Amino acid sequence: MSQSEKSQSPWYATPGYLFREIFKFQRSQQTAIPAIRSAIGFAIPLIVGVYFGNLTVGVSLAGGAATLGTVGIASPYRTRIRTLLLACLGIACSAFIGSITGPIPWLSVIVTGVWGIGAGLLVALGTPAMLIGLQSMVALIILSHYTLDPFHAFLQASLMLAGALFQTAMVLIPLPRQQSMIERNVLATTYQSLAKFASGPSDPQLNTALSTAFIKAQTTLAEINTQSQQGTIFVRLLNEAERIRLSLFVLKRWQKQIETEDALQSAIIDEILQSTAIQLEKITHQLKLDPRDLLYPPLFTNKRKNKERPSQQTLPQIKIKQPVIEMNETLRRQLHVARKLATSWKHRRHSQSTIDLVKTVIPPQQSTLSFWSVLRANLTLRSVFFRHAIRLGITLTLATALYKFFPHLLFNGYWIPLTALFILKPDFNATLSSSIARMIGTILGAVLTTVIITLLAPSVPQLVLLNILMLYLAFSLFYVNYVVFSVFLTVETVLLLDLVTRQPLFTAVIRTATTTIGGLLALAIYTIWPTWERSRVANRVADYVEALRQYCVAILETYGSNQENAEAKIYKLQLESRLARSNAELSVNRTVHEPVSQQTDPELTQGILSASESIAKSTLILHGYKLHRTSDVVIPEFTDFAHRIDEALHQLANATRTGAACTPGPDIHESLQRLKQMKKIYPFKSYNDQILFGMVLSEVQNITQTIQSMQNLVKIE
């Protein structure tokens, strides 16, 4: 389903959408190679414990390692190490506190609720902080199930800490070219998306895939170490991908302008695009270290032999227009830089030319807010994350009280709060889909466990091997599909406990029952006190308009005056605009699939979002023209036009956010007419400059018309 179809789907289509989300398989997200390291970190403590005849110690160490297994498979190396070390500390402290409070039911219930609020608040700080809170919460819940004195509580917490530290140590082991695999994979995906965009026709799905790839690369590389040579190479590769994207936008727009009046020139541009796609594929394979020995033809030049294109034998003799030549040469330079960087990252010593390439690197956007600033900003019921934290704390309190005060009725009842912990999310759609996926996966896992135990009746060594295999499969498929992950995790959990309890079938039944109770409890709490996406969709769309306003105005101002060293500022605004757009699209799509009939003026938010896309595309084209230096003309009238656009978009953002009427915007049309007059009187250096200025005016006119359409959507005083 396309994004536009999603945004127009009625809420009663949610069951079909939910089914597709739950059973969606993202094969490209498999983590088979990183999972090997995590599985080894789990396997060695378990095998050592079994070998020395102390199953309890082995299971405790392996359990500590298993809790951190997913942390080390999909994060950049620097982020991964920091997250793992902090998680180790959180696990040790939480395990000790859970152990000493576990024997006192009322105290255990209170502590679990407080810990739940803290874990919920950490979600506001991003994925690494969320993982730390999640793993700490898991340790607290599991250890609070056992009745231990302070000494044995300390011993058990120490064993879990040792297992977690061992898993962390496994990540620290330097494997050749594996430490940068995550960074290289996101960059390879970005360049592959560029290749598809270059070779394919205009398609909204290709544009969406391209934007998604850039957002993923941007967020992944935001934490990279730019002090290292390799880190700066990766960031420069992302910078170069941004430039290539702009060049492709410009080239495709030029092709669209001339395809009806000059088919042969359009065919040449198509040659350039196809050849560019081949080079981008080559860069993709170099980043992935693809062993295939493929031969790639060079980027298009005007020296190809006639026999290569029998159907267009006159093509090489055509006089290529100067703008096309300039665009082609710009692409050649950009691809040359990207190819050089894509082959140099794996060398320990870099040539002087490579060092020169990475001297000027614009790092991806990073958060400038401190830990405490973010937390203080979210300590209000208006914050989605604060509401999530309170909801999670209440749910875990009730879930813990349920099994603590009825221990004979709910055996191994700690799986109830564990299930609620993994299911509850800040938004409705994620909570509903994860709860159903978890319950389905647990039931299927229990069935699979029954089959394994019945058919194999495994011995202790076989149980160890099955545990390692199941955990490896769970780690490998964690991002592929949550149902499949839950299946293998359930089997592994039951078999791991079977090493100690030797009651696998009973454990599987209990696991299924308590998981179902935990899932239903989480859904019930969310239903009683929901956080509907409609409450923040207007703010998300308004934030996008504001971010787009700053990016668009910054580009327009470069046409009104010579601005030196503006590239870093513009690049940062472009990244902010892209992230804001992603958040707005996600918010609008979530709103559509919520089971409520009343939304916050959906026509306004969806209309503003769709119109903003048109402004964003024109802004990218204008950015591309400047990047290509295809128009060095500086006209002061552009500054006045930029100021009027600035005011108009600012008013539209406020109107979208508040729903209130806004004052009539500035007269943009008058400023546009003055720019059109400049085309007639400005002393252009060449005819090509005049033509290209006309193309700039075309994009400017589109921005003007789009803003006027947006103004028709809001109330004017």
| Whether pLDDT at 587 is above 90 | no
Both 108 and 202 in one domain: the answer is no
For residue 550, give its domain range: 533-713
pLDDT number for residue 317? 45
Does 426 share its domain with 496? yes
Dihedral sign, Cα of residue 442, residue 446, residue 448, residue 452: positive
Q: Which of residues 497, 528, 559 is at a domain's end?
A: 528
Q: Would you state the pLDDT for residue 369?
A: 53
In this prediction, residue 633 carries a pLDDT of: 65
Question: So what's the pLDDT on residue 3?
Answer: 44
Would residue 289 count as lying in a domain?
yes
Tell me the β-bridge partners of 716: 662
CA 583 to chain centre: 10
User: Does 12 reside within a domain?
Assistant: no
The answer to whether position 146 is within a domain reads yes
- Tell me if 350 is assigned to some domain: no
CA atoms of 54 and 56, how far apart (whole Å): 6
What is the residue type of 619?
T
In a domain? residue 224: yes
Spatial CB neighbours of 173, under 8 Å, sequence gap ≥ 6:
37
Please write the tens of the pLDDT for every residue from 479-521.
889 899 999 988 888 888 778 776 777 778 888 888 889 989 9
Q: CA–CA separation, 266 vs 382, rounded Å?
A: 53
Q: Please report, rounded to a whole number, the percentage of residues in the chain having pLDDT higher than 70.
A: 83
For the chain, the C-alpha Rg in angstroms (whole number) is 29
Per-residue confidence at 313, pLDDT binned at 50, 70, 90?
A: very low
pLDDT at 306 over 70: no
* pLDDT single digits (tens) 153-182: 888 888 888 888 888 888 777 666 667 788
Handedness of CA 515, 508, 501, 37 (dihedral sign): negative
Do 509 and 489 share a structural domain?
Answer: yes
646 and 687, same domain (yes or no): yes
- What DSSP line would sit under 362-381, residue for residue? -PPP---S-HHHHHHHT-ST
**Residues 557 and 630 both lie in one domain:** yes
For residues 177-195, give the mean pLDDT: 85
632 confidence band (pLDDT: 50, 70, 90) = low
3-state secondary structure 43-60: HHHHHHHHHCCCHHHHHH
Residues 463 and 569 in one domain: no
Beta-carbon neighbour count of residue 702 at 10 Å? Answer: 15
Residues 589 and 661 in one domain: yes
Distance CA 121, CA 131 (A): 12
Same domain, 465 and 578: no
Under 8 Å CB-to-CB from 635, ≥6 apart: which residues?
559, 560, 675, 678, 682
DSSP 381-430: TTSHHHHHHHHHHHHHHHHHHHHHS-TTTSTTTTHHHHHHHHH--SSHHH
Residue at 353 is within a domain: no
pLDDT value, residue 175: 65
Neighbours of 564 (CB within 10 A): 5
Q: Does residue 717 register a pLDDT over 70?
A: no
Q: What is the DSSP letter of 202?
A: P
Query: Across all residues in the chain, what is the average pLDDT?
Result: 80
Query: The domain spanning residue 707 has which CATH number?
Result: 1.20.58
- Do the beta carbons of residue 307 and residue 363 sit within 8 Å? no
Our CA angle for 33, 234, 250, nearest 5°, is 115
What single DSSP character describes residue 297?
P
- pLDDT, residue 127, reads 78
* Predicted pLDDT at 8: 43
pLDDT tens string 685-702: 766 677 778 888 888 999
Q: Which helix (H) or strand (E) holds 578?
A: helix 567-592
Residue 283 confidence (pLDDT): 92
Domain boundary among 494, 528, 562: 528
Total residues found in the chain within this entry = 717
Highest mean predicted confidence (pLDDT) among 54-63, 571-580, 630-639: 571-580
Which of 503, 528, 553 marks a domain boundary?
Answer: 528
More confident residue, 595 or 646: 646
pTM of the model: 0.79
Number of structural domains (the chain) is: 3
Strand, helix or coil at 662? Answer: strand
pLDDT band at 392 (very low <50, low <70, confident <90, very high): very high
Claim to verify: residue 145 and residue 202 sit in the same structural domain: no
547-579 pLDDT, tens per residue?
Answer: 999 999 999 998 888 776 677 888 888 888 888
Are both 498 and 519 inside the same structural domain?
yes
State which H helix or E strand residue 31 sits in: none
Does the structure show a pLDDT above 70 at 15? Answer: no
Of 149 and 281, more confident: 281
Q: Tell me what pLDDT residue 628 has.
A: 63
| pLDDT tens digits, one per residue of 430-480 | 888 888 888 898 889 888 988 888 888 888 888 899 999 999 999 899 888
Amino acid of residue 199 = S
Residue 73 forms part of a structural domain: yes
| Domain identity same for 453 and 539 | no
Domain presence at residue 328: yes
294-298, 494-498, 650-654 — which one is most confidently predicted on average? 650-654
Q: Are 679 and 538 contained in the same domain? A: yes
